[in-house]
Amino acid sequence: MLLFPTRFSDHDAPSRVIVSVRSGGGFMYRLPQKLVAEFAGTFAVVFFSAGSICADQFLRTSGQAGIGLLGIALAHGLAMAIMVTSLGHISGGHFNPAITIGLWVTRKISTINTLAFWAAQLAGAAVAAYALRLLPFDVWSAVQLGTPDLASGISRTNGMIFEGIMTFFLVFVVFATCVDALGAFNKVAGFAIGLTVTMGALFGGPFTGAALNPARAFGPALAANHWANHGVYWIGPLAGGVAAGWLYDMLFLKKD
């Protein structure tokens, strides 16, 4: 049986070994292994989510039916769900600086590990976005590699509020399924987290691009050199992550 709460409690030392307990013995993961998992997971999340936007653009310009909002939202959610399920036992399956900061503010991950996770996440996002540049130029340039941006009529303040609310519920679900030992069974964590990302994309996609993740915005923005309203996708999600982590910790987590 995998103990999800154990992997989030690494604030004692930056190189502390995280033990995943399974029948038949324990598996130990050190910081470099966790960083590789965070890099790979974030790469996949950005590659397939931003790539789905490029695919939709390609299909529509080719005279075919695009995958549309539902297809793009599912790509976002499935990528997150699959990678959390696959790699969560190694690093915790953050793949998102907003999730990491929610755990940091509640002292479930050390400051050094938080910064290291952020570096791995941003690197994975950047490499994924540059990989998408292998697509035809006319395809990826038309959508700026899937870089999120604000729709007409959505101010930066409102954009930050929307991104903050969507990310709040994402991090809240992470705490409820992965951190809280009394919460939902950890085996449904990836499914629940992925559905939350999908839910956010279905609502926020037309208005803000529904990043819910600074790394998701950073990678494509860097590769496409498209920085319009970029601060929205840091301030909103990080604030939402901090609020969700702090609130869940204060209200629902049992204190030792």
> What is the structure's pLDDT at 254?
79
Return the domain boundaries, the chain.
4-251
Distances (CA, A) of 149 to 76, 95, 232: 16, 20, 9
Superfamily of the domain at 4-251? Glycerol uptake facilitator protein. (1.20.1080.10)
Q: Is 155 exposed, middle or buried (0-12, 13-18, 19+ CB in 10 A)?
A: exposed
Coil, strand or helix at 72? helix
> What is the structure's pLDDT at 26?
54
In sequence order, what are the residues at sequence separation of 6 or more whose Cβ sits closer than 8 angstroms to the Cβ of residue 212? 96, 98, 163, 166, 167, 170, 197, 200, 201, 204, 237
Structure tokens given for 186? 């950890």
> What is the structure's pLDDT at 255?
74
Mean pLDDT per block of 10 residues along the chain (256 residues) reads 39 37 57 98 98 97 96 98 96 97 97 98 98 98 98 98 98 95 79 97 98 98 98 98 98 83
Structure tokens given for 107? 């002292």
Instruction: For residue 56, give the H/E element and its range.
Output: helix 31-61
> What is the structure's pLDDT at 181?
86
What is the rounded CA–CA span in Å between residue 11 and residue 16?
8
> What is the structure's pLDDT at 166?
98
> What is the structure's pLDDT at 183?
77
What is the rounded CA–CA span in Å between residue 244 and residue 173?
9
> What is the structure's pLDDT at 44?
98
> What is the structure's pLDDT at 182?
83
